[in-house]
Amino acid sequence: MTLLTPYWSLDILIVSSSLMITAYLFMTWKFKYWSRKGVMQITPTPFFGNFKNCILLKTSISEFIQDLYEKSEGLPFMGFYIFNKPFLLVRDLELVKHILVKDFNTFANKHASADSKNDRIGYSNLFIMKNPAWKYLRTSLTPIFTSGKLKKMFELMLIIGKNLEKHLELLNLDGNGKEIELKDLTASFTTDLIATTAFGLNMNSLKDPNTDFRVYGRWIFDYNIKRALDFFLIFFFPNLTKYLSIKFFGKATNSLRNIFWRVINQRIESNIKRNDLIDCLIELKEKHKNDENFEGFKFDGDDLVSQAAIFFTGGFETSSTTISFTLYELALNQDIQKTLRAEIHEALAQTDGKITYDMIMDLPYLDMVISETLRKYPPLGFLDRIALQDYKVPNFDLTIEKDTPIFIPMIGFHHDPKYFPNPEKYDPLRFSENVKKSRPSFVYMPFGEGPHICIGMRLGLLQSKLGIIEILKDYEVSPCEKTKIPMVLDPKGLTTTALGGLYLNIRKITIAAG
């Protein structure tokens, strides 16, 4: 080997310095991508891009997106970087409409992805799977959520609602009440709801917080450093997932595979029909057992069970978050809590104290309260897409190149005083019919918008409403010593999550309906 100098140590220093300089020059060249296109960009940090505080777990993803939104005020879009990769943040509402609806075929896929070979359960689920399988599967699963099916599901949900009533009674919340961690309580409730409605399973996680489903749910959303890194890479740098053995469902992957195949096989053997998600998956499995027309996707194996896994995950997490954040805000806003309880009691008086599907769907103030919660705390703070081909942006001198990730700052729109005056105030009246009509489209979309809108939105809202009614009709929530005011979000969380749990005092009220 030829030496550069007579000294090994000096050679090593020269080579190391050269490599560092080369890497720095490469990075800085990449970091001029948007400025060369005439697009405003935030000055990136070498190697980290604009993502340093998220990687160091100082800032949550939602706060990162909102910060970008605020820094790009007055602009239609803005460039930013994660590591050395250029991303585009879109603020112009007309362009948002094109991306999500009008030009959907160009942006049909999400940027997020798992490893297609080593994590099929993560890669193939409806939430992040790619076309053309996504479109067919979406169409096939949509009938599960018709009004007729939801009404039938609701009868099963009422059983879980009664379990919640019994559980709260056993906590002895009379007198001054007790300090309760709401997120885990509501997650146990929604875990039981999704288990019975989608899979025909009676879990009773409220009675035993260590049921299989509840444990797997904690594993998935246990926002430690490892899980934070998993989700960062899946959503922002998915090409690296195959090198790091990252799993979308984390260490719950094998357990979910085993339990859902057991449920599917038991249903096949029993030949019992419940018209739920499991029946739908079995029908798709049989219908497409010899079909190879979906670019490698099969309605069998991990590709099939992946749909059960994502419905379980999304079904319990988003609803429990909505319930717990709603109760948090009601605890801080007692007048709103009293107004909502009065509406609930009035409705129960009309049904002899019974909660019915029709009654739950006809509570306008409850609708406004939940809408305001989802504005302030959307489960996910952004929508992600990727350009499937070069795209000339309408009305702007910009072409988005193929494979460019696009981020739509949902959390930014939701907290923009131009659309929601005094955005930090919790005000359900923002969602009265008159106010909603005066607001532009595409500034409020907690479940997404366009063909990719959340397929389980109606079920999620139904679950959230039931949980809030079951608690508020008999109990009052108020702040306690552990209540964090203002709310502090977990910087490790991809989804909107309260740091250290969400504690409130729950006290049984002396006058209850029914």
Rounded-to-integer distance, Cα 416 and Cα 419, Å? 6
Q: Answer yes or no: is 54 a known binding residue.
A: no
Q: Answer yes or no: are the C-beta atoms of 219 and 250 closer than 8 Å.
A: yes
The tally of CA atoms less than 13 A away on the side-chain side of residue 42 is 25
Q: Answer yes or no: are the C-beta atoms of 509 and 473 closer than 8 Å.
A: no
Distance (Å) of CA 289 to CA 139, 232, 260, 293, 364: 18, 35, 18, 11, 46
Q: Answer yes or no: are the C-beta atoms of 444 and 142 closer than 8 Å.
A: no
Rounded-to-integer distance, Cα 254 and Cα 248, Å? 12
User: Token match 């009379």: residue?
Assistant: 174
- Give me 452's structure tokens: 């990719």
Rounded-to-integer distance, Cα 259 and Cα 252, Å? 11
DSSP string, 167-217: HHHHT---TT-EEEEHHHHHHHHHHHHHHHHHH-----TTT-TTSHHHHHH
Number of H helices, E strands in the chain: 21, 9
Element (H, E) at 42: none
- Contacts for 28 with CB less than 8 Å, ≥ 6 apart: 46
416 DSSP 8-state letter: -
> Binding site for heme, residues?
454
> Binding site, residues?
454
